[in-house]
């Protein structure tokens, strides 16, 4: 009985306030989780985009604006004829930089990446879609997502976290922000849902949990 009483008293004792170091670790963990999750969603969105056929597009929509819509959806899937907020713009900037990394890892040239992600050039979009589709046909989708999000190619460094205008000693590669009111079409929302399901299946989640346990044991 005394043991149970002591246990309850122990629970009731006020916990020590977190130290500055504790708070820093928690903040970095939360930051890393958010950035890794964004990288997962970016990779899944590009995978879904790479399967886009002309017949999947809305009237007046191009392959380039389809990708733009998917990336906007990662910032705010419910955006409806409105401008992106400051936080949404910052998220979009990170998503664009991650997209650049993912595409160039697949062999896309810097010139085509810039034409697509800065100018939303549809000729570049077609070349990149075709290249990405052929490359992705040779890999496991979940492994591809995880290789990007958890390995060195998809690791967000301090430059991303600080939202610096300098990356790897150069000016930020994606230098144009989304302006004006934006709205996702029904087809874009459907593609976004497909990408999200691909990124967060139960099997993918458990595989990541097991991988993290193995990494922690090393």
pLDDT for 57-99, tens place per residue? 999 999 999 999 999 999 888 888 888 899 999 889 889 989 9
Centre a 10 Å sphere on the Cβ of residue 58 and count the other Cβ atoms it contains.
13
Higher pLDDT, 33 or 65: 65
pLDDT for 88-138, tens place per residue? 998 898 899 899 989 999 999 999 999 999 999 999 999 999 999 999 999
Q: Quick one: angle between helices 86-105 and 63-75, nearest 10?
A: 130
Centre a 10 Å sphere on the Cβ of residue 51 and count the other Cβ atoms it contains.
13
Domain residue ranges of the chain, discontinuous segments joined by +: 30-217
Centre a 10 Å sphere on the Cβ of residue 105 and count the other Cβ atoms it contains.
16
Could you tell me the pLDDT band of residue 49, with boundaries at 50, 70 and 90?
A: very high
User: Residue range 139-160: average pLDDT?
Assistant: 70
Four-residue CA torsion sign, 178, 63, 138, 77: positive
Is the distance from CB of 31 to CB of 158 less than 8 angstroms? Answer: no
Cα distance from N-terminal residue to C-terminal residue, the chain: 42
């Amino acid at each position: 009985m005394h043991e149970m009483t002591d246990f309850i008293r122990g629970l009731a004792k006020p916990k020590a306030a977190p130290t500055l170091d504790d708070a820093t670790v928690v903040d970095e963990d939360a930051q890393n989780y958010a950035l890794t999750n964004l990288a997962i969603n970016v990779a899944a969105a590009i995978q879904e985009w790479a399967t886009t056929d002309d017949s999947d597009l809305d009237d007046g929509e191009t392959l380039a604006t389809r990708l733009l819509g998917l990336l906007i959806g990662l910032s705010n899937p419910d955006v409806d004829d409105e401008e992106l907020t400051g936080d949404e713009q910052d998220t979009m900037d990170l998503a664009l930089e991650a997209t650049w990394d993912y595409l160039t890892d697949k062999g896309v040239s810097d010139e085509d990446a810039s034409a697509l992600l800065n100018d939303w050039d549809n000729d570049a979009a077609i070349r990149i879609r075709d290249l990405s589709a052929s490359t992705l046909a040779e890999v496991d989708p979940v492994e591809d997502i995880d290789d990007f999000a958890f390995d060195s190619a998809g690791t967000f460094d301090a430059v991303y976290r600080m939202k610096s205008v300098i990356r790897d000693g150069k000016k930020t590669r994606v230098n144009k922000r989304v302006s004006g009111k934006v709205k996702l079409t029904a087809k874009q929302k459907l593609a976004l849902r497909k990408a999200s399901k691909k990124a967060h299946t139960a099997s993918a989640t458990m595989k990541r949990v097991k991988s993290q346990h193995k990494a922690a044991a090393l």
